[in-house]
Amino acid sequence: MRNLRIYLSLLVASLIGCSAFQLAGPKASTSTSMVQSAPPRVAAPLYLSTTTTTTTTTSSNNNSSISSASKSNTSNNKLHDLNVIIAGAGPSGLLLAHLLLQRGAKVTINESRPDPRVSTAKAALAGFAYALGVGVRGRTAIQRVDSELWQTVKSKGNECDRFRLYVGPFSIKLRDSSVKSKGNIILRWLTGRRNTDNVEPSLLLYQADLCISLMNELERRYGSSSSSSSNNNRVKENTEMEAGNGSGRAGGVELNPEEARNTANQTLSEDEPRFSLNFQSRVVECDLERKRVVLERTRNETVLAPYDLLVGCDGVNSIVRNAIKTASVNFTAEKQTLPGEFKVARLNHTPPKLDPNSVALIIPKSGSCTAFMEPTVNGSACILFAGRGGPDSPILSSYVKPRGKQDNKTAALAEILLECFPLLEGADLEEIAEQLIAQKPGSASSVVCDVYHYNSSVAIAGDAAHATGGVSGQGVNSALLDSVALSDCLEKYFDPTTKESSLEATLLAYSQRQVPEGKALYDLSFGPKPRGLKKVLYSLRAVRDTLFQGRFGIGRPPLQTLLTTSVERFSSIRRKMNFYYDSPFPDSATFDDWITNVHAAMKNTTEEKL
């Protein structure tokens, strides 16, 4: 009975469009509660392009969030006088570096981890192991640099537009572009509805491969002055770095920690390279007023680096976000650890009983842990096991009891895997078991912030600003979109002759652009909590959309498909679902006022402090 309940909840979860691993999330919608006092009104910044970009057929896209990739690739010198430090070489930080360098800025990326290109398998598993689904939003964002960059990324992944749910002996196609409805043309003609079968495929690739492609291209394009070895900017190529022995430095001045905290602003020397990528270079402190960060390169080496603009692309546990919180009581950020745990296994081949061309959500025969399989490049696959964790879940716990004749942990876990997931028969279960035993279970977090910037000094992007812990399957896509939005705002507002005020306008515009998107994605990811009749209607709607997916003019694509295959703004999708939520999603003007209000309050506090 307990299992049945789990199956049903997972089924519903998948029906309403949850991705990688659906865990019970925090209460939705609280995030959109707003400051009620009448805000001082300032001119709302111009919004970015609202042009539709893709060939998707799933929505009207009249409120698109990204401008066309084919429109133009900006390559100019508008930002030549701007010194940007990016904390974090994840997808958002690396794409932002591309976009800013293309516009002439000076960019230094500081990444706390070792270079993934030289990491051992274990280090790779710890950080970048899982496969991401880069949908049309992420693809369009990357194409904003140019289509060559997208081609490079694409070559590392596997395009896939099918999604199956495996429940016991049943395999349900939740999304499959190869399924063409009979009579569809006639019904389309009768109903005036467009064919929703031709969805854009997602690119499934390991986070490491996405990051490595972006890094390699950064070096290839800006390499003459880029990256890091022991003397300024060559990417570390030795594994010593992993033991914390690296001595890379770039974009800063070496000081001991005490000096670093007390020394006045340092200026970069003339021959500083325009682009630097430093691994094992952790941002440990941010002085937001004097615009400089303290970087820890090794235990004994601390570097002070000045900047014009600091961008925290440093993930859910962002140091930069925490620095804003410390600097201003008016900045509100909420981070919550989501219930449940996960582990990841990489396979050289897709298990023979599973469709090698479909993403698969597999409901277990026993136990509460589900498996989410993504076919990755060259016939390989990534399986994410997710569930409640704890001692009752041997797949996720690090303790596996020997059982029966099996006194060997690996063999015992392989047996458990087969019992829970008979569809994995034929896969190298011992290899999977070994990988699982070697890992600590991971957990995911959600993040919600009221603004994504502080004065003229700092912006935050990606998971540092908003996260849904993999639940929406849009984390990386929305992170990449932040980078596009920030670089577009800089392009529009930055003026080297009025650096500080134009940076302030830039960052306010960026928050006004992206905060509603982050909040909407949060609401959509964790869903509404309708009651009574609304609940019934909501469930019926989910079933209808899953079965018909907009075919025959009935319903519309399920939420997950809509998020993955269209570039319609998250806030627009969320507003269309207002009926099911406790409170309607605020309109753009309300958001603008709210964010302007917070911005003014942060500025006032800073001025009072100074």
Binding mask 200-219 for ligand FAD (x = CB under 6 A): -------x------------
Q: Does 479 bind ligand FAD (CB under 6 A)?
A: yes
How far apart are alpha carbons 100 and 114 in whole angstroms? 23
Considering the complex, state which of residue 312 and residue 555 has its C-beta at the smaller distance from ligand FAD: 312
Binding mask 121-160 for ligand FAD (x = CB under 6 A): ---------x-xx---------------------------
Tokens 């962002």 -> residue: 318
Q: Does 90 bind ligand FAD (CB under 6 A)?
A: yes
Name the minimum Å distance from CB 420 to ligand FAD: 19
Amino acid at 157: G
Name the minimum Å distance from CB 131 to ligand FAD: 7
Q: Does 475 bind ligand FAD (CB under 6 A)?
A: yes
Phi-psi region of 549 (alpha: psi -120 to 50; beta: other; left: phi over 0): left
Q: Does 512 bind ligand FAD (CB under 6 A)?
A: no
Considering the complex, state which of residue 54 and residue 477 has its C-beta at the smaller distance from ligand FAD: 477
Binding mask 264-303 for ligand FAD (x = CB under 6 A): ------------------xx--------------------
How far apart are alpha carbons 563 and 300 in whole angstroms? 46
358-to-108, 165, 250 alpha-carbon distances in Å: 39, 10, 44
Contact 345, 369 (CB under 8 A): no
Q: Does 526 bind ligand FAD (CB under 6 A)?
A: no
Secondary structure in 3-state letters for 206-266: EHHHHHHHHHHHHHHHHHHHCCCCCCCCCCCCCHHHHHCCCCCCCCCEEECHHHHHHCCCC
Considering the complex, state which of residue 209 and residue 463 has its C-beta at the smaller distance from ligand FAD: 463
Q: Which of 376, 477, 487, 606 binds ligand FAD (CB under 6 A)?
A: 477
Q: Interhelix angle for 475-493 vs 136-143, to 10°?
A: 30
Q: Does 549 bind ligand FAD (CB under 6 A)?
A: no
Q: Interhelix angle for 147-154 vs 207-222, to 10°?
A: 140
Among 578, 100, 131, 52, residue whose Cα is nearest residue 344: 131
Q: Does 444 bind ligand FAD (CB under 6 A)?
A: yes
User: With CB under 6 A, what is the number of residues at the site for ligand FAD?
Assistant: 36
Tokens 């001991």 -> residue: 256
Considering the complex, state which of residue 48 and residue 141 has its C-beta at the smaller distance from ligand FAD: 141
Stretch that binds ligand FAD, among 9-17, 352-360, 461-469, 544-552 (CB under 6 A): 461-469
Considering the complex, state which of residue 420 and residue 444 has its C-beta at the smaller distance from ligand FAD: 444
Beta-carbon contacts of 372 under 8 Å, excluding residues fewer than 6 positions away, are: 19, 20, 21, 359, 360, 361, 362, 383, 384, 385, 386
Q: How many CB atoms lie within 10 A of CB 512?
A: 25
Name the minimum Å distance from CB 241 to ligand FAD: 14
Binding mask 108-127 for ligand FAD (x = CB under 6 A): --xxxx--------------
Q: How many CB atoms lie within 10 A of CB 523?
A: 25
DSSP for residue 416: H
Considering the complex, state which of residue 90 and residue 557 has its C-beta at the smaller distance from ligand FAD: 90
Tokens 């209607």 -> residue: 537
Considering the complex, state which of residue 208 and residue 505 has its C-beta at the smaller distance from ligand FAD: 208
Interface with ligand FAD in residues 324-363 (CB under 6 A): 342
Q: Does 381 bind ligand FAD (CB under 6 A)?
A: no
**Binding residues for ligand FAD (CB under 6 A):** 19-20, 87-93, 110-113, 130, 132-133, 207, 282-283, 313-315, 319, 342, 384, 444, 462-463, 469-470, 473-477, 479
